[in-house]
Amino acid sequence: MASLKSFASVDRFVTEIASPATLRPAYILLGDEVFLYDRCRKAVLATLAPEDTRDFCLHDLDLAETSIFEVLDRAQTPSLMAPFQVLFVRNLKTLYGRGSKKEEFAAIDAYFRAPNPQALLLFVADHLRIPTDLRKMDYQDKERFEKIRETLGDWCGTVELARVDENDAIKWVTTTAESRNIKFDPDAARELVDSLGADMMLIASEFEKLLLYVSGPAAQPIEGVIPTEARSAQWRDPRISSEAPRTSPETNTTPLTKNRVTLGDVETMVLAAKQRSLYELTDAISAKDRPRALLLLHGLLNASDGGEDAAIGHLYMLARTFRQMLIISEKNVRDPRAIWQVLWQGFRMPPFAAEDLIKQARRYKSRRELTRAIRLVARADLELRSSPANKLLVLERLILDLSTEPKPTPYDPTHQFAMEL
């Protein structure tokens, strides 16, 4: 795989530890990008901690529970059972807490003046969040970053575990799939990355699921059953006859595997991709763009396995989204990072949607407009559960109502007179 800019620091680290001539006595893993940290750890274990001696040479230590003096003592003491020691040291931030920590840093300085050549220390500074563009780093994280480099940078190599750039994430998806003889369509790769907010751990997990999905046996149509596409086409266009062509086993030439991931596969298998379409719908609704909102509604239903039968699930997500916007509006949230303080666990949106949802919530001028939207969704939900003649019409009417400016309540003098009484 060609080297990607976002992976350059990790690739350099992997190359360094592979040779005793370039291996440094310690490294600092700076950042909270778990995917890149996992790559570093796997490379260290594969190169320096073989499985047959791993129980004797690998140490996972936490500075919140183990003092730096004990960590350095372990690093300095050779093992009788393994030729090399690997020590992962978490919670580096405790070294930079309250107090001067002169004794701790003096001990660190003394160790690195004569380090054990048969030991590797890996300090994990996952309390820092490093963005793709270092110039956009949070001021507090930047201060911590510089302080670590000033105090440990002379002795330790630094590995920046920054957020992966979206374009690099897309290239990783396509090239990794190609290395496993599977084609990943570019638009499918972009949708996967965009819908998961370029979170590489989530992307890697969904990527594996998609590869299993397209490399496994394809579902064979059952004789006499109308395919999903034909069923959804019937309610999309009344001109299509209800007598859709039925699949015959004799004419079925579907291969056992297709070894290709398409945009439809991502939309089918990745929940966040479905949610992304929903947030696009609420964006059109909040902007009062009725034509776009209707088009997005049809696209959302077409992508659903159950077609209009999945309508109640979509209504639930719509109601949930408007409730989220109501809280954002009431708490006057302007910064996406503040969302995690006002929305509780289990009621938060995916990271990629935070900024968009704040923008959508600000389009509503009052709490009354958002509660009106929630009431409209509740009314449509009740109507759908009452087995209407045409579910699509119920959904289309709801979207039109949500996308229309509410009419002002007409002034009634009798109400004013009643209030005065």
Cα distances from 357 to residues 153, 294, 322, in angstroms, run: 41, 19, 9
User: Looking at the structure, do residues 262 and 323 belong to the same domain, yes or no?
Assistant: no
Name the pLDDT band for 398 (thresholds 50, 70, 90). Answer: very high
In-domain check, residue 407: no
In-domain check, residue 370: yes
Comparing CA positions, the residue from 286, 280, 296, 275 lying closest to residue 322 is 286
User: Looking at the structure, do residues 304 and 230 belong to the same domain, yes or no?
Assistant: no
User: Looking at the structure, do residues 11 and 156 belong to the same domain, yes or no?
Assistant: yes
Which pLDDT score is estimated for 314? 81
Mean pLDDT of 187-199: 84
Mean pLDDT of 149-167: 90
Last residue of one domain, picked from the residues 160, 194, 223: 160
- The domain tally of the chain equals 3
Which pLDDT score is estimated for 100? 78
User: Looking at the structure, do residues 315 and 179 belong to the same domain, yes or no?
Assistant: no
In-domain check, residue 421: no
CATH number at residue 61: 3.40.50.300
User: Looking at the structure, do residues 80 and 205 belong to the same domain, yes or no?
Assistant: no
**Residue 224: is its pLDDT beyond 70?**
no
User: Looking at the structure, do residues 262 and 279 belong to the same domain, yes or no?
Assistant: no
Least confident among 6-10, 121-125, 134-138? 134-138
In-domain check, residue 416: no
Least confident among 245-254, 255-264, 268-277? 245-254
Mean pLDDT of 363-381: 93
User: Looking at the structure, do residues 155 and 170 belong to the same domain, yes or no?
Assistant: no
Last residue of one domain, picked from the residues 122, 143, 160: 160
Per residue in 323-340, pLDDT (tens digit) is 999 999 999 998 887 887
Which pLDDT score is estimated for 326? 94
**Residue 236: is its pLDDT beyond 60?**
no
User: Looking at the structure, do residues 346 and 371 belong to the same domain, yes or no?
Assistant: yes
Which pLDDT score is estimated for 120? 95
Which pLDDT score is estimated for 248? 42
Range of the domain at 190: 166-241+255-266
Q: What residue has token string 């590995």?
A: 159
User: Looking at the structure, do residues 226 and 210 belong to the same domain, yes or no?
Assistant: yes
**Maximum CA extent, the chain:** 94
Per residue in 138-155, pLDDT (tens digit) is 888 888 999 998 889 889
The encoded tokens of residue 157 equal 């190599």
In-domain check, residue 112: yes
DSSP one-letter string for 159-217? EE-PPPPHHHHHHHHHHHHHHTT-EE-HHHHHHHHHHTTT-HHHHHHHHHHHHHHHHSP
Give this prediction's pTM: 0.62
In-domain check, residue 409: no
Least confident among 116-130, 151-165, 242-256? 242-256
Contacts of 175 (CB under 8 A, 6+ apart): 1, 2
Last residue of one domain, picked from the residues 160, 192, 221: 160
Mean pLDDT of 213-228: 53
Which pLDDT score is estimated for 271? 64
**Residue 305: is its pLDDT beyond 60?**
no
CATH number at residue 210: 1.10.8
User: Looking at the structure, do residues 237 and 365 belong to the same domain, yes or no?
Assistant: no
User: Looking at the structure, do residues 295 and 390 belong to the same domain, yes or no?
Assistant: yes
User: Looking at the structure, do residues 232 and 304 belong to the same domain, yes or no?
Assistant: no
CATH number at residue 373: 1.20.272.10
